[in-house]
């Protein structure tokens, strides 16, 4: 594991199975190590409360063992916030998040709110949170774990060794572009439209995050766009090229059209190291990349801004079909907590302990339903039991060693 400070950015890379390079702007590092942290927990909807409970059990053990405290305070987001406050991300929640050292989010959404008007949909709360907290960079790692190789729908030789990081721009693009709406034209026909729009500065800052991430990984960055058709993509390509050429001489930059990238990810994913793309392409490609790993249930993500707390959350959704049945996989949320410990709480040792405990739980041949294979000789367990097993491991395993140079920062 390496811990490096590069021009204004802090990055971590690690050889542990789950850990991928991390980005945080230096201004957010004021929170050097503390004894007590304020953390906002957003359990959200569907399986959210169950995986949050399992993660809390693990974090309690971690705090006991490592002698620090997390003041975990819940807040509302998503469907539950609509039900209770008629707002998918109420101001109280935003204020609480901004006043915290970090935010750990489970997942949002469910059938119940699917037909609500846009302003009263759970997804709107998530987008509001990203925008208002300035979380412009979303890191979505997809690393295939040897323990779960057969959980992928692709052939073993295609996925073995895959380790891709999707750096997705998160606060711009057609998601937030204006004008947007549904109007009626002169003939009385309804017209729906959104605006795919990026400014140079938005492209510049995400290109820098991606350049930095790539330089601490395999040094290969693939920028994804649709520059053969879209003007916004042409600007994207120009700005990314100029940032990487000028300021990241060690990074080899390539460009790929989004349709080709979608195909190449399935055909030969090992060609990719770090991918950078706009918000909507990143939404689609990160789901695709995550399935190379076999289950969305394993993947953490980090959403980071220039400063202030980041938001750490599993890549998966709220799985309303299994909510409340103790079938969910809490590991992505536990791994998201590990990312939080490393980025926002300056606790790399504790992050590594969590990640090691998760790997050891898999080595102990226990599986939740999403990662259980026929004939894998593993025991099928529920969400709660998985949490308890990881918590017990956190309590008992040898403390993994973090090299001194990493702790020094
Ligand atoms: C994601 C999700 C969200 C997105 C939805 C829930 C708004 O798909 O985080 O990838 O589109 O960004
Ligand atoms: Mg998505």
DSSP class of 399? P
Closest residue CA from atom 8 of ligand 1: 283
Using CA atoms, how far residue 258 sits from 110, 165, 227, 280, 406, in Å, is 29, 16, 9, 10, 37
Q: Probe ligand 1: pick from 173, 283, 302, 318, max atoms within 8 Å of CB?
A: 283
Element (H, E) at 288: helix 279-292
- Our answer to whether residue 283 is catalytic in this structure is yes
Instruction: Please identify, by atom number, the ligand 1 atom nearest to the C-alpha of residue 286.
Output: 10
Indicate the pTM of the whole model.
Answer: 0.89
CB atoms within 10 A of CB 215: 23
Strand, coil or helix: what is 318? coil
CATH 3.40.718.10 placement within the chain: 33-133+308-409, 137-294
pLDDT in tens, 210-226: 999 999 999 999 999 99
- Our answer to whether residue 175 is catalytic in this structure is yes
- Our answer to whether residue 287 is catalytic in this structure is yes
Closest residue CA from atom 3 of ligand 1: 123
Residue 5 has what pLDDT? 28
pLDDT in tens, 243-279: 999 999 999 999 999 999 999 999 999 999 999 999 9
Quote the ligand 2 centre to 283 CA distance (angstroms).
Answer: 4
The single residue of 283, 326, 376, 392 carrying the catalytic annotation is 283
The single residue of 95, 183, 245, 259 carrying the catalytic annotation is 259
Interacting residues of 135 by C-beta distance below 8 A, sequence separation 6+: 129, 170, 171, 303, 304, 305, 310, 311
Q: Which residue reads 């490609």 in tokens? A: 285
Residue 93 has what pLDDT? 98
Instruction: Please identify, by atom number, the ligand 1 atom nearest to the C-alpha of residue 170.
Output: 12
Q: Give the CATH fold of the 33-133+308-409 domain.
A: Isopropylmalate Dehydrogenase (3.40.718)
Give pLDDT tens digits along the chain (409 positions). Answer: 222 323 233 333 333 344 333 445 433 333 568 999 999 999 999 999 999 999 999 999 999 999 999 999 999 999 999 999 999 999 999 999 999 999 999 999 999 999 999 999 999 999 999 999 999 999 999 999 888 888 888 999 999 999 999 999 999 999 999 999 999 999 999 999 999 999 999 999 999 999 999 999 999 999 999 999 999 999 999 999 999 999 999 999 999 999 999 999 999 999 999 999 999 999 999 999 988 987 788 899 999 999 899 999 998 899 999 999 999 999 999 999 999 999 899 999 999 999 999 999 999 999 999 999 888 899 999 999 999 999 999 999 999 987 643 332 2
Give the CATH superfamily of 137-294. Isopropylmalate Dehydrogenase (3.40.718.10)
283 CB within 6 A, ligand 1: yes
């Amino acid at each position: 594991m390496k811990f490096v400070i590069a021009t204004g950015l802090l990055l971590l890379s690690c050889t542990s199975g789950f850990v991928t390079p991390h980005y945080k702007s230096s201004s957010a590092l004021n929170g050097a190590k503390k004894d007590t942290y304020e953390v906002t927990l957003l359990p959200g909807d569907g399986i959210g409360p169950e995986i949050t409970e399992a993660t809390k059990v693990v974090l309690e053990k971690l705090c006991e063992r490592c002698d620090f405290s997390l003041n975990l305070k819940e807040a509302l987001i998503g469907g539950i916030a609509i039900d209770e406050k008629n707002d998918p991300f109420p101001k109280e929640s935003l204020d609480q998040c901004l006043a915290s050292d970090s935010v750990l989010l489970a997942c949002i959404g469910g059938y119940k709110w699917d037909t609500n008007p846009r302003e009263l949909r759970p997804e709107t709360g998530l987008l509001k949170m990203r925008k208002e907290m300035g979380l412009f960079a979303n890191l979505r790692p997809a690393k295939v774990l040897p323990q779960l190789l057969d959980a992928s729908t692709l052939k073993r030789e295609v996925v073995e060794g895959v380790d891709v990081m999707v750096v997705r721009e998160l606060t711009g693009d057609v998601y937030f572009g204006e004008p947007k709406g549904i109007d009626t034209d002169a003939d009385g026909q309804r017209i729906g439209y959104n605006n795919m729009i990026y400014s140079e500065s938005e492209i510049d800052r995400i290109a820098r995050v991606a350049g930095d991430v790539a330089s601490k990984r395999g040094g290969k960055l693939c920028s994804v766009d649709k520059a053969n058709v879209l003007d916004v993509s042409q600007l994207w390509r120009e700005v990314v090229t100029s940032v990487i050429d000028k300021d990241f001489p060690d990074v080899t930059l390539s460009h790929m059209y989004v349709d080709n990238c979608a195909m190449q990810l399935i055909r030969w994913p090992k060609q990719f190291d770090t991918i950078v793309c706009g918000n909507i392409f990143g939404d689609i490609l990160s789901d695709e990349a995550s399935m190379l790993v076999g289950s969305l249930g394993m993947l953490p993500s980090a959403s980071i801004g220039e400063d202030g707390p980041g938001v750490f959350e599993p890549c998966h959704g709220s799985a309303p079909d299994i909510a409340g049945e103790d079938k969910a996989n809490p590991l992505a949320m536990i791994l998201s907590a590990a990312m939080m410990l490393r980025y926002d709480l300056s606790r790399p040792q504790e992050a590594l302990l969590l990640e090691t405990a998760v790997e050891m739980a898999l080595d102990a041949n226990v599986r939740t339903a999403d990662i259980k294979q026929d004939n894998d000789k593993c025991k099928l367990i529920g969400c709660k039991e998985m949490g308890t097993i990881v918590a017990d491991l956190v309590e008992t395993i040898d403390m993994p060693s973090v090299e001194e140079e990493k702790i020094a920062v």
